[in-house]
Amino acid sequence: MGVPMLEEFGDLDALRLGRALRRTRITAVAFAVVGFVVAPLVGYPVAGLGIAVGLLLGALNTHWVDTSVARLKHLSDGRAARRPLAARTLGRLGITTAVVLALLVLVTPMGFGALLGLVLYQAAFLSSMIAAVFRGVSPR
């Protein structure tokens, strides 16, 4: 007997997943707007731009994951599918890390804003996915 929430997560249909991703994007845009407004008020105007950059990196990463998985979906050998997926994952993480580190070194407030943007995107993504799972859980 498995954990009901985890079993439901595997059964996420495309419609619920699409809605959750749309909610995540809308939340990310709202966070970016708030970042652009609040950052100058606290004395770090470029941090607002950094927040937007971090949110954009999070959204791009989600898009890249989606396209990588879709590209490998047709492969029947699970072992062969994992290798390119792992390489692409390392590449995505490397690009994201390089961008954030470069910003931290070159324009520190923008780099910290980018880190905050990544954290905000992941929080929005996770909460949207959890909400999608719980919406599909029927009382037993």
Q: Which residue stretches of the chain have pLDDT < 70?
A: 1-12, 73-82, 136-140
Summarised one tens digit per residue, pLDDT across range 96-137 is 999 999 999 999 999 999 999 999 999 999 999 888 888 765
Q: Which two tokens stand for residue 87?
A: 């390489």
Distance between CA atoms of residues 25 and 48, nearest Å: 17
Judge residue 95's burial from the number of C-beta atoms within 10 Å of its C-beta, 0-12 exposed, 13-18 middle, 19 or more buried.
middle
Q: What is the pLDDT of residue 127?
A: 94
Q: What is the pLDDT of residue 111?
A: 97
54 with 116: CB under 8 angstroms? yes
Q: What is the pLDDT of residue 54?
A: 97
Q: Which two tokens stand for residue 100?
A: 């954030």
* Domain range for 90: 4-136
Q: What is the pLDDT of residue 85?
A: 75
DSSP 52-104: HHHHHHHHHHHHHHHHHHHHHTT-S-HHHHHHHHHHHHHHHHHHHHHHHHHHH
pTM above 0.95, yes or no: no
Q: How many domains, in total, are found in the chain?
A: 1
Q: What is the pLDDT of residue 78?
A: 60
Count other C-beta atoms under 10 Å from residue 30's C-beta. Answer: 13
The owner of tokens 């652009």 is 36
